[in-house]
Every structure is written in structure tokens, then in C-alpha cells.
Structure 1
Amino acid sequence: MVTSMTGYGKAVHQLSDKKITVEIRTLNSKNLDLNIRLSSIYRQQELPLRQLVAKSLSRGKVDFSVYVEQTGVVVNSKLNLELVESYMRQMGQLDGVMFDNHSHKIQLLEIATKFPDVFSQESKEAAKEDITAIQETTKNAILAVQEFRKDEGDVLELEFNKRIRNIKLLLEQVVEEDIDRLADVRTRLEKAVSEIKEKVDQNRFEQELIYYLEKYDITEEKVRLENHLNYFTETMTVPESQGKKLAFIAQEIGREVNTIGSKANHAAMQQMVVQMKDELEKIKEQLLNVL
């Protein structure tokens, strides 16, 4: 199975007086890079939440946000009377403001209560109900991220299979072209020697020719490349995503392709090698996003 490191998940939980929203966004990264946004009143829950997210998502750049919105009456709020009176006195000193009748006092009071910090929370600790709700909502958001990552991984797997098939087809063409390649090399060498118009020890020439042709033989590279391509495909089918392992196999594929290219000494085969490299580069680019 291929799983992407790119994902998004959102979960909402409604309490009697609060709406809790958890959002998780993930991008690719070599390791886990977790950034948490959490209200100060819930800071004591940061470590448990961090552990929960890290265990479930394992790798990637993760932005984790918890939003708590008041939707009902805040019963544990306290009005800061001294601050309200201070705001009203300051407004009463403004030019043209009448502060000497009941109606104007009511208007000033309404304005003053809209200023910051006039209401303070009596309790500085999060309620157990809130903590439980945040944890459950986080789990649901993680499930949504994992589903998103799986869907993205399915798309990547289709792309990888396409590129691997293309490389295999090019390898088959290389094998067909290789049948006549060494014969052509031998013919060119024999022609070159004959044009020298010097007597040549035939036995020595054959020995040197065999040595030379062996240097250009790509039989082992073809076999190893085919094995690596099959191993890449098999690794994608295991239950857990194996991004790092697939990247290692891709490196081995590249090594064999490069060796074939250096040994080819044949224009048509080298063109096929360039095409294989192009397909492999597209695989490597997408592997950066695999978990």
C-alpha cells in the first residue's frame, strides 16, 4: 500500500455551550514536524495530543489546530466592575458627552461592556468534558487525514505502476537491440583492424576482442534491473507504506540504468536509457511525498 504524506482532516464536536473544531493539515517531510495551535487554557493537554498525533501520523509536516468557540451562555464569567466604571468615567470626560442622566449612563454602560477584558473567566482550568471532547475530536480528525492520505496514495500508486511499466517496456527494447549490438561492435573492430594493413596475431586479437566485448556486456545489469523493478512493484503491495524503502529501490534502479548507459556504446540504446532515466526521475519526485 502506498500512503501519501499530504492530507487534510477536520472534525467538529458540539457541546452544550461550546463548539470544538480540530483541523489537521499535513505535507511531506523527512521526519515528523508537528506544529500545534491550542488555547492557553488547554495547554496541559498539549503533550498527550502531541503523542496521539505523532503515533498516528508518524511522518510529515503537520499543522494541528484546536478551536473552541463559545455557543452558549458563559456561566463562569465575572464582570470586572472597576474596569467598567473606569471606562465609563473616561468616556464621560469626553467633550459633548452627557453623563448626568440615567439614559446616558445606560448607553455608556452598553458601550463599556463591549471593551476587552471586562469579562473574566473565574475558572482557569479546562473542564474534563472539554478535554475528553478535544481528544475524541482529534481522533476523528486523524481518521479523516488518514483517509485523505490513503486516497492520495492510491493515485500515487497508479502513477508509479505506470512509470515502472514504461521502464520495463524500454528494457525489453534494450534487450532486443542488444542482440545485434555486440555483433555490430565486433564487425566494426574487425574492419578497423583490417584497415591497418598490418599482420595481426589472430589468437591475440580474439582474446583482446573477447575482453573488450565482455566490458560492454550488460547481461547482469539487465537481470538486476528487472529484479529491482519487480521488487519495487511488490513493495507497493505490502500492508504498510514503505516510502523510504521505495526510495532506496529507486536508487538501485538508477544505478543499473546508468551502468547500461555507460556500457551501451550504441546510439539507439542510449536514447532508450535517457527515456528510462526520465521515467525514473518522475518516480523519485513523487516518492518525496510517500509515507
Structure 2
Amino acid sequence: MTGFGKGEAALRNKKITVEIRSLNSKQLDLSLRLPAVYRQSEYEIRNLIARTIQRGKVDVFVTVESQAVETSAHINKEAFEAYYRQIADICAGNRDLAGVHADALVIQSILRLPDVVSTEAEAIPEEEHAALLAAVEAAAAHLDAFREQEGAILIADLLRRVELIEQYKTEVVPFEKARTETVKARILDNLSKLAVDVDRNRLEQEMIFYLEKLDITEEKVRLTNHCNYFREVASSEEGAGRKLGFIAQEMGREINTMGSKANEPNIQILVVKMKDELEKIKEQVLNIL
């Protein structure tokens, strides 16, 4: 299910911001972007998010704003001075190089020499680590709340469409009764055109057998049961998306059978309307965990 969550944590001279965005997906596809200094906390961040978000394409962005000037680069004074003395000694013993040791270019060259400048990966303080995880938890909680709100709206829409399907199923009844008389009249009319003797008792038996094949009472009963079960699961179970999808498939089977047995244009129109609502249900169910 789509959603967005944001969490912030403030320290004395830093502000940590965590943003989480999610899109629909069958599994959890987690992408994490964070500053290099927080890489040591990546495993914990992933676990925190996975406990709240079971599936979806999830993008996590961690940024940090620092009010103090900080750098992980350090100049090795001993190495710098050793290089500088060596260059100065060389220049002092060579008249062509006299005075070169004081040039700024020399200083820049020394800074590029091995072991003069080093970058150390320092562990972040415990206070900052706790603030980072708190921001992640807050963002995940806001995302979860956003998705719950969206889910409630989505469930209401699904239940409304289930009601429409049942309404269309009820509208089938008068056409179903008229259809029986129409089928009987059509059969008798065709027989009269044949100008042959007909065994009326046998005709009645065959007509009853034929009309029983067109009867959709059983399909309507099963469709009603599926609709009731859909409501029950939607209102009482967590993580019901997959199960609702299965129920929608069963509803589709009954509606398709009603359509194949319809043999009446008005019933076919109502079946098409039911199918339309059912397809919208199947699309929306994919957005539910």
C-alpha cells in the first residue's frame, strides 16, 4: 500500500531526518540511502522497518544537518613536519631550489603525500545512534498510520462495491422469472412449427430438465455466502489482502456461471455490471496487506 512517513530527531548541533515512501509490491523491497557515517546502523534500521512494514517497495532516506563544522579527515603533524624538513634540507643544499620550501605549492604537495592526511571511520556516539533509531521508528509509525487511514477508506470502498454486486444480483430475480416463461413459450412455438405429434408428458419432463440447467439459484446462494464472508474477513482480520483476493476469485466464478446460464439480455447486462464491480475489487485488493 502506498504511504509516506517522516521522523526527526534533534541533538545539540545536529538534526536527523528520516523519510519513508512506499508503493505497492507483493514482497518487501527495501532501499536505504543514508550518510556513510550511519552505515554501521544499517542492519538495525532495516530490522526496525521490516517489523512495521511487511511488504511494498519501500524507499528510506536518512539525512543529517550539522550546525558545527565537522570532518573525519586528520592531518598527521609528525608526518607533515618530517616531509617538510626533508624538502627544506634538499632546498637548502641546492642554490637553484633556494626559497622554494616556503611556497604554498610545496605545502599542497606535502598534503598529498602518503600518511599525511588520513580519514578515520569513527563510531557515532550512543546518543546520536539512539536518536537515529528513534527517528526511524517515528517515520515507520507515521507511515503505518498513513496506510491504516488509507486502508480504512479502501475497505469502505470495497464493501460498497460488494453491496452493489448483491444489489445487481437481487435485480436479476424478476428477469429470471420472466425468462422461464419466455423459454417455455419459445420451445412450444418451435414445436408447433414442426407439425409433429408430441408426447405432452415427455415434453413437460424434458422442459423441466432443461429449465433446471438454466436455474441460477445455487449460484446466487453461493455468491451471497461469498459476499458475507468477504465482509467478515475485511472487518475482522489483519493482513487480509491475500484472503480477500481468493474470495473475490470465488465470487467471480459464481458470476461467470450466472452469465453462462442467463439466456436473457437483461440478466446479461446485470452480470456485466457485477463483473465490472468485481474487477475494481480485485484491483483494490492488491493495495491491502
**TM-score (norm: length of structure 1):** 0.82
Higher gyration radius (CA):
2
Work out whether 1:55 is the aligned partner of 2:51: yes
Of the three residues 221, 234, 237, the one matched with 1:236 is 234
Matches within 5 A, 1:163-182: 163-182=161-180
Of the three residues 253, 256, 259, the one matched with 1:255 is 253
CA contact (8 A) 2:37 2:121 kept: no
Q: State the distance in 1 between where 2:171 and 2:24 align.
A: 36
Question: Secondary structure of 1:68's match?
Answer: strand
> C-alpha offsets along residues 246-266 of structure 1, whole Å, 9 cap, x if unaligned?
111111111111100000000
> C-alpha offsets along residues 120-170 of structure 1, whole Å, 9 cap, x if unaligned?
654432222222111111110011001110111122122112211211111
Amino acid at match of 1:62: V
How big is the shift at 1:180? Answer: 2.0
2:66 alignment counterpart: 70
Question: Secondary structure of 2:186's match?
Answer: helix
Work out whether 1:32 is the aligned partner of 2:28: yes
CA contact (8 A) 1:39 1:67 kept: yes
Question: Secondary structure of 2:18's match?
Answer: strand
2:214 alignment counterpart: 216
1:14 alignment counterpart: 10
Q: State the distance in 1 between where 2:74 and 2:9 align.
A: 26
Amino acid at match of 1:164: V
Question: Secondary structure of 1:124's match?
Answer: coil
Of the three residues 281, 284, 290, the one matched with 2:279 is 281
Provide the aligned C-alpha RMSD in A: 3.0
Question: Secondary structure of 2:31's match?
Answer: strand
Gap regions ≥5 residues in structure 2: 84-99, 108-115
Cα distance, 1:155–1:120 mapped onto 2, change above 3 Å: farther
CA contact (8 A) 2:5 2:20 kept: yes
How big is the shift at 1:11? Answer: 0.7
1:266 alignment counterpart: 264
Q: State the distance in 1 between where 2:117 and 2:170 align.
A: 76
Q: State the distance in 1 between where 2:8 and 2:119 align.
A: 24
CA contact (8 A) 1:17 1:73 kept: no
Question: Secondary structure of 2:145's match?
Answer: helix
CA contact (8 A) 2:252 2:278 kept: yes
**Count of residues in Structure 1 that have an aligned counterpart in Structure 2:** 268
1:94 alignment counterpart: none
Q: State the distance in 1 between where 2:49 and 2:222 align.
A: 40
CA contact (8 A) 2:28 2:55 kept: yes
Work out whether 1:187 is the aligned partner of 2:190: no
Asked which structure has the greater RCO (Cα within 8 Å, sep 6+), the reply is 1
CA contact (8 A) 1:39 1:66 kept: yes
How big is the shift at 1:80? Answer: 7.3
Gap regions ≥5 residues in structure 1: 86-99, 110-117
Question: Secondary structure of 1:163's match?
Answer: helix
1:153 alignment counterpart: 151
Work out whether 1:23 is the aligned partner of 2:19: yes
2:42 alignment counterpart: 46
CA contact (8 A) 2:30 2:59 kept: yes
Q: State the distance in 2 between where 1:50 and 1:285 align.
A: 29
Question: Secondary structure of 1:12's match?
Answer: strand
Question: Secondary structure of 1:200's match?
Answer: coil
Cα distance, 1:180–1:37 mapped onto 2, change above 3 Å: same
Of the three residues 135, 138, 146, the one matched with 1:137 is 135
